[in-house]
A and B are shown apart, each in its own frame.
Chain A
Amino acid sequence: MDLVIIRYNAGNIRSVQIALSRLGVRAEVTDDAERIRNADKVIFPGVGEASSAMRYLQSHGLDALIAGLTQPVLGICLGLQLMCAFTEEGNTECLKIFHSEVKRFPPEKKVPHMGWNSIYGLKGPLFNGIPEGAYVYFVHSFAAEPCREQIAAADYIHPFSAALQKHNFYALQFHPEKSGDTGEKILKNFLMTGNSHGEMR
Chain B
Amino acid sequence: MLTKRIIPCLDIRDGETVKGVRFTGIRRAGDPVGLARSYARAGADELVFLDITATVEKRNTFAELVQKIAHNINIPFTVGGGIRSEEDVARLLDAGADKISINSAAVRDPAVIDRLAGRFGSQCVVLAVDCKRHGDRSFVYLDGGRTQTERETLPWVREAEARGAGEILLTSMDHDGTKDGFALEITRKVSGSLNIPVIASGGAGRPEHFLEVFREGKADAALAASVFHFAEIGITQLKQYLHENAIPVRMT
A contacts, CB < 8 Å to B:
11-12, 14-15, 18-19, 21-22, 47-48, 107, 110-118, 135, 137, 139, 155-156, 175, 177-181, 183-184
Contacts and interface: CB of A to CB of B under 8 A. Distances in A.
Interface string B175-197: 00000000000000000001111
B18 interface: no
* Most chain A beta-carbon neighbours within 10 Å: one of B3, B98, B251: B98
A184 B122 CA distance: 25
A20 B66 CA distance: 17
A17 to B, nearest CB: 9
A137 B76 CA distance: 8
Contacts of A177: 74
Contact of B123 (A21, A114, A181): A114
Contacts of A12: 93, 98, 121, 124
B45 A115 contact: yes
A175 B124 CA distance: 14
B196 A14 contact: no
Contact of B195 (A19, A107, A117): A107
Main SS at interface, chain A = mixed
22 contacts: A11-B120, A12-B124, A14-B96, A15-B98, A22-B71, A47-B121, A48-B121, A110-B195, A114-B123, A114-B166, A114-B197, A115-B4, A115-B197, A115-B221, A116-B45, A116-B250, A135-B250, A156-B2, A175-B76, A179-B75, A180-B75, A183-B74
Contacts of A179: 74-75
A36 B96 CA distance: 24
Nearest to A107: B195
Contacts of A180: 40, 74-75, 252
A110 to B, nearest CB: 5
A15 B120 contact: no
Contacts of A137: 75-76
A114 B220 CA distance: 9
Interface string B1-20: 11111000000000000000
A183 B120 CA distance: 23
Given A11-B121, A14-B93, A116-B2, A19 B45 contact: no
Contacts of B40: 180
Contacts of A11: 93, 120-121, 124
Contact of A15 (B4, B96, B252): B96
Contacts of A139: 123
Contacts of A19: 74
B166 A178 contact: no
Interface in B27-61: 40, 45
